[in-house]
Amino acid sequence: MATTKGLDEAAYSYASRNAWSSFIATRFDTHGRTSERTARLRMAELELESLRAFAVVAKRCRNAATSCGCLPPEVLAVVFAYAQEVWRPHRVWQTAKTEKAGPRYALGWMSILHVSSSWRKAALDTPRLWTQLHCFDIMPQLMAKVLLSSRNLPLKVYVDDRGWLDMYSSSMGVSPGWLCAPVIKRMEKLVIATQDNELRTWTCALKTTAPALKELELEARGPRDEAYHLEDTLFVGDVPPLLTSLSLTACFPRWNSRLFTSNLTKLRLSMGGVFIDIFRDESTRVLPSSSRLKRILSPLQSLIELYLHNLFPRDEPGAMDVPLSLPSTLRIFECTCDNWDAFNEHYSNLWRCVKAPADAVIICEAFVDGLSDHPSSIYHHLLEPLLNANDPAHPTRELYLSQNTLSLRNTAQARAGWTWRWPDEPRQINKYDQPITSQYRKDLVYDGESGSRHIRAWAWFGPEILVEAPPMDTLQAVYFSSDVMHLYGTPAKWLDCFSDADSEVERIAIPYINSLDLLSALVDKTEDDAFSLFPKLRIIVVHPGSQYMEKADIHHGGVDLSLAHLIEVRRREGLPIEELLVDNALASWGVWGRIREMTTVNFFE
């Protein structure tokens, strides 16, 4: 007989059948002796209805005995929270034909409400699972259940249409439900990113104060000739007292609006989607004047992050004579541009209007079509952030150079950071990229070190840019990306651009395969018998270079000889290269045995 951990299944099944047989007999057989046929039929039907209802209860009891049904509610809540991150509810994209049947929704993680009663109860009894409301992605019929399940916890409300086409999408105007007064009172974050008509509907629903609101993001989606004007009636004209983060994209209030509260620690202003044309007043009149921008920023003495996209001050005679010093609390100042008129006419106004503190990180990106056509005429504009921030009290210590990026630091890296490298292959810049997110930027600039400056643009940062760059006689380290090496195509070009008898550079990082001309230039001498290029060089960090994986064996012979010659010449002249830090991917190459006879070689992962 089959047994399950001491259970005699055959005996138990026999007893169960007998019990149910007796029970069925007591519920059905007695009707024949007490009622007429029609009454007996109806009574039997009622018994069957009850049986079906309690069969569900029986299945629920069975499910409660399964391994997943026995999980404690606390564990289930953690599992559901992880499921939320990767399995979000969403509105299903529809064509013009299928849209006639009405909007369709995928429940995502909320499908667990229909798995078992214990799961459903655990989810509904965990209020924190219901505090992030993506209004366009949740079935309207579930609105009340979702809001009630969140109890009294603070809410994060997202109204993001993700670019739904009006011609295919039915009305999403459910703002009176999602943005009713009880919800507004509990919101700590609100994001509204929609087309104009929907933006108006949702912002008009903000008819009460928001005492808990900390983050506000408003965006008018889609291309437009001018920015959308926000009415002063938001939150009945009362600024949320806890508001610390404000983001406005293509929609702005009056520049003296109370939304620009002194409590702000993060401010993002973007003209994304607005077609800027200097010959059309309606596209530029929304831009603040230099004096107005100063009045907006001057009260923000707690500002930590400032982001501007295509929004630079209009020229105003006399207003930029004395730039506004941004607060010492500022840690990140990001400035991006993808419009030629905005860059060519207004970008430089910004750097004459404001001055960032020396220890702030400045990140500037100019993804403008016209840059690659006129590189020599735009370098000064591109480098305004560096020229503006050049402070003798905080001299430049490190330079990072790639084909499209120039970074400076005014503090020297600790040894642990010496082996950082640019990507081996040239980065492809896509002009259709969305504004760069913080996550994406991690691959573009290597650090957020205090005082670092990063410039990225659609322009090759070759020898010409170094003429416009701020003084670099205080540099201690230089990092070269593999994609920039071809711009210095001969040893003479390296000497023209970097030779300086007073150079303080002690460390360089090179892409090995691409460094033949650089290594040759490093042994050149002046008429005074001093080394022309980086005379105080002590440490070389060696990365593979762009051709490493494919054709390394046929490319590195000449580089090996040049490196060995460099080490030998510098040692003989009493200015030795003290250490090579080599990427472990190159550890199997035979050249390092010879190099070790002349200097220290260490490998890194």
pLDDT in tens, 346-405: 888 888 889 888 888 888 888 776 666 666 666 677 777 776 555 677 788 888 888 878
Q: CA gyration radius for the chain?
A: 34
d(CA 595, CA 582): 11
**8 A C-beta contact, residue 399 and residue 473:** no
d(CA 127, CA 484): 53
Q: Which residues are CB-neighbours of 534 under 8 A, at least 6 positions away?
A: 478, 498, 503, 505, 508, 522
Give residue 548's pLDDT. Answer: 47
Q: Which residues are CB-neighbours of 424 under 8 A, at least 6 positions away?
A: 482, 511, 543, 544, 545, 546, 548
Q: Mean per-residue pLDDT for 54-69?
A: 74
Residue 170: pLDDT band with limits 50, 70, 90: very low
d(CA 412, CA 408): 10
Give residue 420's pLDDT. Answer: 82
Residue ranges covered by each domain of the chain:
58-129, 394-425+469-604
Q: What are phi and psi of 453, to 5 degrees?
A: -125, 135
d(CA 183, CA 252): 24
Question: Which is more confidently placed, 599 or 389?
Answer: 599
pLDDT in tens, 231-267: 888 998 889 999 999 999 999 999 989 999 999 999 9
Give residue 192's pLDDT. Answer: 93
pLDDT in tens, 95-137: 655 555 567 888 999 988 888 888 888 899 999 999 999 888 8
d(CA 581, CA 564): 15
- Examine the pLDDT at 443 and tell me if it is beyond 80: no
Beta bridge partners of 267: 246, 306
Question: Which is more confidently placed, 289 or 432?
Answer: 289
Between 197-201, 211-215, 434-438, the lowest mean confidence (pLDDT) is in 434-438
Give residue 468's pLDDT. Answer: 60
Between 155-159, 241-245, 410-414, 584-588, the lowest mean confidence (pLDDT) is in 410-414
Between the alpha carbon of residue 394 and those of residues 380, 390, 479, 538, 552, the distances in Å are 21, 8, 20, 23, 41
Q: Mean per-residue pLDDT for 489-503?
A: 85
**8 A C-beta contact, residue 188 and residue 214:** yes
Whole-structure pTM value: 0.80
Place of tokens 């907006």: 296
- Mark 359-374 as b/e (b = at least 16 C-beta within 10 Å): bbbbbbbbbbebbeee
Give residue 433's pLDDT. Answer: 44
| Alpha-carbon torsion (286, 287, 290, 293), positive or negative | positive
pLDDT in tens, 508-530: 999 998 899 999 999 999 888 89
